[in-house]
């Protein structure tokens, strides 16, 4: 890649846009620190031995390295001149995501420490470097092989296997700079209220100045719709409510992602604008009526697909913004109306495209990596990382539910386990951060919170008739519940809305048609017995999906999965997003009205 080309050059934070910013993606100095001894050996002070293309992880092809062995620690270094035009302002250094434990120095001064590979963090460079001066940025990322850590689907073996994939170490999302005034706007929280056709906008501030105010304007394609102002000198997070005129109300709907522009301005005592951010909002509601989940007051059967967000050349980082959009378009073409974003916190640009297209999304955390072979050992940092994710994503209208944990299989016993504490902590943190959306305490396994809003299961039975039998108990409030070798791992079902949030996973590789069913599972893997023909795939998909569509007590499903991922070959599309079966036949199965929508 030419050094003059900035990879992933699009603005990384589309719900809070400032016009002035500097993208730091591209060539950085890089060095692997196999023994995590780099600080002692002077890596913080000296030039590094190699080069990498940020924001792609060193394991990826797009990084220029494709180094797939374990890296206990890695170092990055780059010198950049802070624009002189930013004089009089603070310079913020943003990292979209660094896996896993990051320390950042600028001109030899430590400016940030952050734990967690999925959530963003920021360093304020005030007092360290001034506009017009050079800033030498050094990043160390530690990514140990052992110990409890939120890894998602990253393999802890050298090679990929089954549903675990090539690791991501270090920087894997955009790094960028922006100038802000000394007192500035922080990320607004925008909450829609369909019942009153209004938005509430809470605007946290870095501080308060006498006589200052906040002004919020909501607009559509025809211009300003509503404006509201409030004092910004009395509260650290001023709040306004914007009532939309009846003739300008348009809901954000599945398949119709109508968005309003939202401008937030900070004004001084003389009325001059001192800081501005531009964003957007969608007017939509989520509610629960018995076993139904309602969107804008009506049942919408959630035809979801499991999306793991991996790419052959970029791993967890999409090669381009267009690739993020393309994945949503592929899902829609196959008849799905949304996705469960699985074992990964997706780049915010993905949510932007989902918002625009009216694509339903369940937000999830990449919690796998806490099992010690006996019990789950998630740490307190799972909760802190998840709170950072909620802060980033809470205003995206496409997100219609939260799923902090996934398949935390562990028996229920007579003592409070660490898993119980962390599960409840993540559930309560989610409800406190966002009371407007339903929360699944843990998808599939180990429901450990009695009041969880949603109850679900994972079931990869491949025979439709048997699958129907397993699902038949829901009408009697006796749904299929996952267990562990016959031991209960969940609290009892209490009549909540229920769906099968993983099913299918039909193993199909056209190139292996007619070969032995037990191929090398390192190179081809899927659930159950591999289908022998494409027709057999479609028959099985129609049978399994029909069981769920026809169940009046089911509010949705999530099919595994959108694309093949490395050796896991159960996608609707191939790993490179090319076609491997008749997508229209998949779409047609899902078009009919579900029983719960009638």
pLDDT of res. 373:
80
Q: In what order do the strands lie in the sheet with 109-115?
A: 50-54, 26-32, 73-81, 134-142, 101-106, 109-115
Determine contact, residues 198/190, Cβ cutoff 8 Å: no
* pLDDT value of residue 45: 97
Whether 3 shows a pLDDT value over 60: the answer reads no
> What is the pLDDT, as a whole number, of residue 513?
82
pLDDT digits (tens, 9 = 90+) for 278-301: 999 999 999 999 999 999 999 999
Residue 491, judged by CB atoms within 10 A of its CB (0-12, 13-18, 19+), counts as middle
What average pLDDT does range 127-151 have in this prediction?
96
Tell me the average pLDDT across 354-372: 95
Q: Between the CA of residue 87 and those of 22, 80, 90, 136, 536, what are the distances in Å?
A: 15, 16, 8, 18, 66
Q: How confident is the model at residue 514 (pLDDT cuts 50, 70, 90)?
A: confident
Q: What are the C-alpha distances in Å from 517 to residues 520, 530, 570?
A: 9, 6, 14
Q: Please, which residues bridge with residue 78 across strands?
A: 137
Q: What is the pLDDT of residues 73-108, one digit of tens each?
A: 999 999 999 999 999 999 999 999 999 999 999 999
Element (H, E) at 428: helix 418-433
**pLDDT tens per residue across span 456-483:** 999 999 999 999 999 999 999 999 999 9
- At residue 518 the predicted structure's pLDDT band, cuts being 50, 70 and 90, is low
CATH class (in words) of the domain with range 195-281? mainly beta
Q: Give the integer Cα–Cα distance in Å for 490 and 125.
A: 47
Per domain, the residue ranges of the chain are 22-180, 195-281, 287-597
The first and second tokens of residue 473, run together, are 């108990």
For the chain, what is the mean pLDDT? 96
Q: What's the CATH number for 22-180?
A: 2.60.120.260
Answer whether residue 10 shows pLDDT above 50. Answer: yes
Q: Which CATH class is domain 287-597?
A: alpha beta
- Could you give the CA distance from residue 370 to residue 461 in angstroms, rounded to a whole number? 27
CB atoms within 10 A of CB 552: 13
Residue 96 backbone phi and psi in degrees, to 5: -65, -40
Q: pTM, whole model, 2 decimals?
A: 0.96
pLDDT over 90 at 5, yes or no: no
Least confident of 80-94, 95-109, 345-359, 520-534: 520-534
d(CA 205, CA 236) in angstroms, rounded, equals 6
Q: Which residue has the tokens 């397993």?
A: 470
Dihedral angle of Cα 438, 443, 445, 447, to the nearest 10 degrees: -20
pLDDT-based confidence at 519, cuts 50/70/90?
Answer: low
Q: What CA–CA distances, in Å, run from 402 to 243, 453, 504, 519? A: 27, 10, 22, 37
pLDDT digits (tens, 9 = 90+) for 559-572: 999 999 999 999 99
């Amino acid at each position: 890649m030419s050094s003059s080309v900035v990879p992933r050059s699009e603005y990384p934070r589309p719900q809070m846009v400032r016009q002035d910013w500097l993208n730091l993606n591209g060539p950085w100095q890089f060095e692997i620190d196999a023994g995590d001894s780099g600080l002692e050996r002077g890596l913080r002070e000296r030039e590094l031995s190699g080069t990498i293309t940020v924001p792609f992880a060193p394991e990826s092809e797009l990084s220029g390295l494709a180094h797939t062995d374990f890296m206990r620690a890695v170092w990055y270094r780059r010198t950049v001149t802070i624009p002189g035009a930013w004089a009089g302002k603070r310079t913020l250094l943003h990292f979209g995501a660094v896996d896993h434990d990051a320390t950042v120095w600028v001109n030899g001064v430590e400016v940030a420490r952050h734990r967690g590979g999925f959530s963003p963090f920021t360093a304020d460079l005030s007092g360290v470097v001034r506009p017009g001066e050079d800033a030498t940025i050094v990043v160390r990322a530690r990514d140990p092989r052992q110990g409890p850590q939120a890894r998602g689907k990253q393999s802890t073996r050298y090679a990929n296997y089954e549903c675990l994939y090539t690791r991501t170490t270090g920087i894997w999302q955009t790094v960028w700079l922006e100038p802000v005034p000394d007192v500035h706007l922080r990320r607004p929280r925008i909450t829609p209220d369909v019942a009153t056709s209004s938005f509430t906008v809470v605007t946290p501030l870095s501080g308060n100045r006498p006589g200052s105010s906040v002004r919020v304007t909501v607009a559509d394609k025809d211009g300003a719709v509503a404006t509201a102002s409030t004092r910004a000198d009395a509260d650290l997070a001023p709040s306004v409510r914007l009532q939309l005129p009846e003739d300008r109300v348009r809901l954000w709907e599945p398949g119709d992602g109508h968005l309003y522009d939202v401008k937030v301005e900070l004004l001084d005592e003389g009325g001059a604008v001192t800081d501005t951010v531009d964003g957007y909002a969608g007017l939509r509601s989520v509610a629960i009526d018995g076993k139904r989940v309602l969107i804008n007051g009506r049942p919408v059967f959630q035809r979801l697909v499991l999306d793991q967000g991996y790419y052959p050349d970029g791993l967890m980082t999409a090669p381009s913004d267009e690739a993020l959009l393309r994945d949503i378009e592929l899902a829609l073409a196959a008849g799905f109306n949304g996705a469960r974003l699985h074992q990964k916190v997706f780049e915010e640009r993905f949510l932007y495209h989902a918002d625009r297209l009216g694509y339903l999304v369940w937000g999830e955390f990449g919690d796998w990596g806490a099992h010690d072979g006996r019990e789950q050992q998630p740490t307190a940092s799972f909760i802190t990382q998840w709170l950072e994710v909620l802060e980033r994503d809470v205003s995206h209208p496409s997100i219609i539910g939260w799923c902090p944990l996934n398949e935390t299989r562990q028996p229920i016993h007579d003592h409070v386990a660490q898993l119980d504490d962390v599960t409840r902590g993540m559930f309560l943190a989610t409800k406190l951060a966002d009371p407007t959306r339903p929360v699944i305490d843990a998808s599939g396994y180990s429901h450990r919170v009695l009041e969880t809003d949603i109850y679900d299961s994972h079931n990869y039975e491949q025979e439709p008739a048997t699958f129907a039998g397993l699902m038949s108990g829901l009408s009697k409030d006796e749904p299929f519940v996952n267990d562990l070798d016959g031991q209960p791992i969940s609290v009892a079902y209490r009549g909540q809305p229920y769906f099968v949030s993983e099913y299918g996973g039909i193993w199909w590789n056209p190139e292996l048609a007619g070969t032995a069913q037990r191929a090398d599972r390192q190179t081809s893997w899927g659930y159950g017995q591999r289908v022998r023909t494409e027709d057999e795939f479609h028959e099985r998909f129609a049978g399994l999906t029909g069981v769920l569509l026809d169940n009046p007590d089911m509010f949705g499903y999530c099919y595994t999965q959108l694309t093949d991922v490395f050796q896991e070959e159960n996608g609707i599309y191939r790993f490179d997003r090319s076609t491997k079966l008749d997508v229209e036949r998949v779409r047609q199965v899902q078009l009919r009205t579900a029983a719960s929508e009638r």
